[in-house]
Amino acid sequence: MSPSPAPADRSPARKWGSGPRPILALHCALAHGGAWADLAQNLQGVTLTAPDHPGHGRNRDWDGVQDLHQQATAEALAHAHDLAKDGPIDLFGHSFGGTLALRIALENPGLVRALVLVEPVLFAAARATQSFAQMAASQLNLAQAIAADREAAAASFHAEWGTGEALADLPERPRRYITERIHLIPAANPGLVDDNAHLLRPEGLESLKVPVLLVEGGKSPAIVGAIHDALAQRITPLTRAKIDDAGHMLPLTHAKALAALVQTHLAKS
């Protein structure tokens, strides 16, 4: 198990509930820990802690130098160690946060009791598919698009991965929040596209022996299903679930449906 970082490294976090079962929940890119509020309020018997990743929420800005995925993992792991003082914890992750959760579980055997992954965007897992080629056209060119027109790049990304509303139709504050942080999306490519943490190494995923719930939306980008197919071939025990009328931001848009799936998963583990 990796050593716990010093207390000074703890990132800001929100907390809900006072139940006996500790959960660490890791949000998607361009959100913050508050994205888990609705889910937390629909779960029973848990205490859910949701930190803000570097550059998000109340956390400090990403410095543009450190590997973003590694830094976010280290900060989340510090919280995981805090919560695991009395035994293994449950670990949730959505999108970018899902890849952090997967990394923590793989690199820290014995730390996690149950794992919930909501559309983890480990794009490298689907590299051999047509969906990857389609994704690469936008994801890998996003940095150049941002340099040319930040707001247009943010609008294009949000149209594919957002809640279904156009960026221009959002209130001014969340619209500005997303636009100001859009550079964090290509900053994560070394971890998500290149797998520089080697999450896909031979026998790596196969070594993960905690119960995993893998959830996707029926209206999500095609590459999500391709990623899930690849993960499902290598991870056991694993339960796949789909919320048919949901898209990528289902923890926000379909919190009650997700909570029902999660509650069942936790009851079995």
pLDDT tens track for 175-231: 999 999 999 999 999 999 999 999 999 999 999 999 999 999 999 999 999 999 999
Measure the CA–CA gap between 115 and 105, rounded to whole angstroms: 8
The mean pLDDT value for 135-147 works out to 87
- Whether residue 94 contacts residue 51, with contact meaning beta carbons closer than 8 Å, is answered with no
Structure tokens at 219: 């209206």
pLDDT per position as a tens digit, 39-74: 999 999 999 999 999 999 999 999 999 999 999 999
Q: Please, what's the largest Cα pairwise distance for the chain?
A: 50
Taking the domains of the chain in order of start, what are their residue ranges?
A: 7-127+188-267
Give the count of alpha carbons within 13 A of 75, CB side only.
28
Strand partners, 89: 112
pLDDT per position as a tens digit, 20-38: 999 999 999 999 999 999 9
Q: Which residues contact 164 (CB under 8 A, 6 or more apart)?
A: 247, 249, 253
216 SS3 class: strand
- Whether residue 83 contacts residue 13, with contact meaning beta carbons closer than 8 Å, is answered with no
Count the residues in the chain: 269
Query: Is the pTM here over 0.85, yes or no?
Result: yes
Q: State which fold the 7-127+188-267 domain adopts.
A: Rossmann fold (3.40.50)
